[in-house]
């Protein structure tokens, strides 16, 4: 079941990456690169940080093929898929939840401390999207809007917390998936966001200079 959800999540992430390429009218290579970056990028970053080399995406060609399939479908039928974007967002939320649980599980298996386990959950779920945004020269979306990375991070902490109760790993994984998915759905439903800092009206040096001048008056 986890493997099926993992495949579905990878495909949904790959399609979302491919649509970023559509936004900039990239060619089939660009679509494929962004699809692969989004689909398997987070897992590859996680594996490299944990020392699990080579990354699983490079030893199981199935993941790359899933990403390429997503890229090809978007290349041929982007308008039709866009009309059903709500379904893709639902699949993306499932993918986020599954990737968070998988990331936490693998980090724990490599002896990581609780904070690292939670961070690996977030990196696995969101790392691919960060790579996608950087390749398309955009500020990573997880840093500016939505309760996306936060849901994955909370899911990672939930996985750690469940470990204190000596629950079987499979039970912890499914509870983590459900918790992360519920958190993401609630955030989407009520448009939840983390507090944001407001832009300054001038640069810090200009503000400091104006402050000094006002003190002299």
In this prediction, residues 100-124 reach a mean pLDDT of 97
d(CA 43, CA 54): 11
Cβ neighbours for 11, distance < 8 A, ≥ 6 positions apart:
39, 66, 67, 69, 70, 91
pLDDT in the model for residue 2: 74
- Provide the mean pLDDT of the chain: 93
d(CA 107, CA 213): 54
Q: Is residue 154 part of a domain?
A: yes
pLDDT in the model for residue 90: 84
Question: What's the pLDDT tens digit per position in 144-178?
Answer: 877 899 999 999 999 999 999 999 999 999 999 99
Question: What's the pLDDT tens digit per position in 11-58?
Answer: 989 999 999 999 999 999 999 999 999 999 999 999 999 999 999 999
Q: Give residue 15's domain range.
A: 2-197
Q: Is residue 205 part of a domain?
A: no
Q: Would you say the C-alpha torsion 110, 111, 113, 117 has a positive or negative sign? A: positive
Q: Is residue 206 part of a domain?
A: no
Q: Is residue 214 part of a domain?
A: no
pLDDT in the model for residue 94: 87
pLDDT in the model for residue 8: 83
Q: Is residue 203 part of a domain?
A: no
In this prediction, residues 62-73 reach a mean pLDDT of 96
Q: Is residue 22 part of a domain?
A: yes
CA distances from 147 to 152, 180, 192, 206 (A): 9, 11, 6, 34
Q: Is residue 165 part of a domain?
A: yes
Residue 122 and residue 158 in contact, taking contact as beta carbons nearer than 8 Å: no
CA distances from 6 to 78, 98, 110, 111, 198 (A): 23, 6, 20, 23, 38
Diameter of the chain by CA atoms? Answer: 71
Provide, rounded to the nearest whole percent, the portion of the chain with pLDDT above 70: 100
d(CA 164, CA 161): 6
Q: Taking phi first (over 0 means left), then psi (-120 to 50 degrees means alpha), and beta for anything else, what does residue 128 get? A: alpha
In this prediction, residues 55-64 reach a mean pLDDT of 93
Question: What's the pLDDT tens digit per position in 127-146?
Answer: 999 999 999 999 998 988 77
This prediction has a pTM of: 0.91
Q: Is residue 208 part of a domain?
A: no
The total number of structural domains in the chain stands at: 1
Residue 150 and residue 194 in contact, taking contact as beta carbons nearer than 8 Å: yes
């Amino acid at each position: 079941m986890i493997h099926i959800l993992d495949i579905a999540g990878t495909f949904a992430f790959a399609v979302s990456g491919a649509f970023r390429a559509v936004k900039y009218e990239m060619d089939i290579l660009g679509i494929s690169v962004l699809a692969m970056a989004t689909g398997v990028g987070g897992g590859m970053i996680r594996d490299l940080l944990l020392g699990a080399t080579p990354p699983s995406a490079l030893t199981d060609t199935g993941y790359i093929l899933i990403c390429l399939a997503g890229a090809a479908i978007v290349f041929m039928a982007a308008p039709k898929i866009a009309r059903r974007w709500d379904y893709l967002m639902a699949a993306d939320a499932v993918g986020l939840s599954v990737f968070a649980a998988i990331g936490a599980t693998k980090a724990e298996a490599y002896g990581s401390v609780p904070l690292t386990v939670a961070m690996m959950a977030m990196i696995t779920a969101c790392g691919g999207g960060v790579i996608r945004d950087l390749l398309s020269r955009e500020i990573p979306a997880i840093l500016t809007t939505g309760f996306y990375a936060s849901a994955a991070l909370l899911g990672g902490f939930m996985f750690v917390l469940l470990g204190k109760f000596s629950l079987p790993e499979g039970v912890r994984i499914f509870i983590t998936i459900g918790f992360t998915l519920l958190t993401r759905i609630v955030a989407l439903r009520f448009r939840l966001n983390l507090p944001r800092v407001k832009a300054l009206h001038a640069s810090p040096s200009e503000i400091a200079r104006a402050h000094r001048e006002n003190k002299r008056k």
